A and B are shown apart, each in its own frame.
Chain A
Amino acid sequence: MELFLFYLSAGICAVSTAMVITGVNALHSLLYLIVSLLAAAFIFYLLGAYFAALLEVIIYAGAIMVLFVFVVMMLNLGRQTIEQEKSWLNAKMWIGPSLLAALLLLELGYLFAQGQGTAIGQQVSAKQVGIALFGPYLLAVELASMLLLAGLVGAYHLGRPLERP
């Protein structure tokens, strides 16, 4: 049964990612991307990596993607965009991502109904993740911070508004 759950969520992940890259509308793509990240989080959960699943939902699906959606919506201020936003709210727009997300919810509900929080792999707790990160992988954490610094400086430079001549 766990295998079936795995393949189902992997399928959801693949389908929604395909929808992300084929979508024409940025907002539509973002909705599918959130579903894709949720599906990945569910796979982590199935594998016993609860902490990774949690972070995937909170940080990627929660913080970053919702931020993207907000930014996309905020950029479209003004009267004529209200019409556009109304058109975003039609069923064609949200039914796909909602269905896929509902499937994921069903899977999660099934797992909870089983009562044991079954996992295919080995369970990894948050404490173990922390010990690994600040033990053998300490250098990786430091390097990741430098990688973020490089990305930040680059984004700051490239994204800065151009002065009008």
Chain B
Amino acid sequence: MTADALIALLPIMVVAGAAIVVMLAIAVRRNYRLTVILTLLGLVTALATLPLAAERAPLAATELMRIDRYALFFIGLVLATGVAVTLLCYDYFAKREEQKEEIYILLLTTLLGGAVLAASSHFASFFLGLETLSVSLFAMIAYPIKERLPLEAGIKYMTLSGAASAFLLFGMALIYAEVGVLSFAELGRLSATADFQPSVLIGIVMIIVGLGFKLSLVPFHLWTPDVYQGAPAPVTALLSTVSKSAIFALLLRYFVVSGSYSYESLSAVLTFIAVASILVGNLLALLQDNVKRILAYSSIAHLGYVVVALITGRVLGSAFAVEAVAFYLVAYVVSTLGAFGVVAVLSVGGDEAETLAAYQGLFWRNPGLASIFTASLLSLAGIPLTVGFVGKFYVFSSGVNADLWLLVWTVVIGSGVGLYYYLRIVLAMMKSADGVATAAVPAAPAPLVGCLTLTVLVALLLWLGVYPGAFMEMLQSLSKTLS
């Protein structure tokens, strides 16, 4: 490995190093604040090395990883999300467990897995990154071991995740048995010259099944509401943002680089998944009274929208798909972090603030948090002036340009239904504060760190919504680097 490759890998290596440093620091002396500071320091250092790596890009660091601007963008997204989640965890876990430092090691290894996924161009690094991500998440979901729901959620996620990994491995094995290569680029080169139809196609479908589980797309979504509800709120934020965006980045790279767009029947499979995810996610969210479950179903629907953008890449070319997917994922990550961040901040004092009743009259009790929550929900619903609107516009226009009217109509119907349940939460917050509300949530002082993080997130959400031009240009230039 050359020195250039090592420098290009710096962001990933710094995160891995940070995990080890944090572990050793905990082994020497348990100090909650020091652990958090070390974690943040590691993440910020890793973010600071991104420009260094970008100078070397594009570059293949062995066959396993390809550091190009596409990869660096998603690594940046994963790490920035990590910073936000660390800050949200700080208040949330401060008063809870008696051994709460380890969650930051697991957080760092989760981010490491996500970063590896964003850069991997080979089945081996793909699988290792995915497992690092999932294994860390099992433990994070079940972190409050004295409580029942998190443990149940952790076991559910672990069992189903294991089954999904088995599908994934079987798919990879089928492709390898037929083509004899493991790197995406080689696979693309070979399948352009020869026809490997049946087994490669079955392999790809099995990979989609495995990833569909992790992305909670519809036929594989059954675990989502339970796990989202059971996991501690900051971990839910991590689960719904980092793992989804990193895995989708990998899926898109796989589709573009390995030439999977050339299989026509694959579009039909993905269309079914997208339509089912959007409809099922939005319709089931209507029936829920638990904010975490509503957000879980809404995330199923959102991933359906991203799949729409993925499908259109077949007609419109990969560059536009990359741009649309990347923008939508950023919009989704920012809005979801905002929404789950509010849940986390409100849950600091005691039990999880997850029932709709707990939010009743929030506007009168805590106008700041309520406005932040409203902004995030409106962004998830895709209301203009928020980043969610621009993301949805991307999906919509790519569907129209590609003449995929079934998908366009599904997106329209889904967005319409979605508005209803997002506004239901907003309405609950506006109701008068008498009676239930004060009893349901103890009036804890809102923690400073969490509130500051949320303010920054909302500023970003509005800024990207009002003035997305510069960001779109950046995405346009990076979308051409993936090939």
A137-B124, A139-B61, A150-B135 given; A157·B109 CB < 8 A = no
Q: A151 to B99, alpha carbons, bound, how many Å? A: 17
Contact bitstring B17-32, A, C-beta under 8 A = 1, else 0: 0011001000000000
Assess the B62–A138 pair: CB atoms within 8 A. Answer: yes
Assess the A143–B135 pair: CB atoms within 8 A. Answer: no
Contact bitstring A149-162, B, C-beta under 8 A = 1, else 0: 11101111110101
Assess the B132–A157 pair: CB atoms within 8 A. Answer: no
Instruction: Please tell me the size bucket of the interface on A.
Output: 20 to 34
Contact bitstring B81-118, A, C-beta under 8 A = 1, else 0: 00000000000000000110010011001101100100
Assess the A143–B128 pair: CB atoms within 8 A. Answer: yes
| A157: contacting residue among B16, B19, B143, CB under 8 A | B143
Q: A157 to B116, alpha carbons, bound, how many Å? A: 24
Q: A121 to B136, alpha carbons, bound, how many Å? A: 37
Inside 8 A of A149's CB, which chain B residues have their CB?
19-20, 23, 105, 109
Interface: A63 (CB within 8 A): no
A138 to chain B, nearest CB (A): 6
| B136: contacting residue among A137, A150, A162, CB under 8 A | A150
A150 to chain B, nearest CB (A): 4
Interface: A147 (CB within 8 A): yes
Interface: B1 (CB within 8 A): yes
Interface: B199 (CB within 8 A): no
Q: Name B's interface SS.
A: helix
Interface: A99 (CB within 8 A): no
Interface: A136 (CB within 8 A): yes
Assess the B136–A157 pair: CB atoms within 8 A. Answer: no
Interface: B273 (CB within 8 A): no
Assess the A147–B146 pair: CB atoms within 8 A. Answer: no
Assess the B139–A157 pair: CB atoms within 8 A. Answer: yes
A73 to chain B, nearest CB (A): 25
Assess the A140–B145 pair: CB atoms within 8 A. Answer: no
Inside 8 A of A139's CB, which chain B residues have their CB?
9, 61-62, 64-65, 125
Chain B CB within 10 A, most for which of A142, A158, A162: A158
Interface: A124 (CB within 8 A): no
Interface: B138 (CB within 8 A): yes
Assess the A154–B62 pair: CB atoms within 8 A. Answer: no
Ranked 10 nearest A-B pairs via Cβ: A154-B139, A150-B109, A143-B128, A150-B136, A147-B132, A139-B64, A140-B124, A157-B102, A150-B135, A153-B105
Instruction: Please name 13 pairs of A and B residues whose Cβ atoms are closer than 8 Å in the assembled complex, sorted by A.
Output: A136-B62, A136-B64, A140-B64, A140-B128, A143-B116, A143-B129, A147-B109, A147-B132, A150-B136, A153-B105, A153-B139, A156-B102, A158-B154
Known: A138-B1, A138-B62. 4 other contacts (CB 8 A): A147-B113, A150-B106, A150-B113, A153-B102
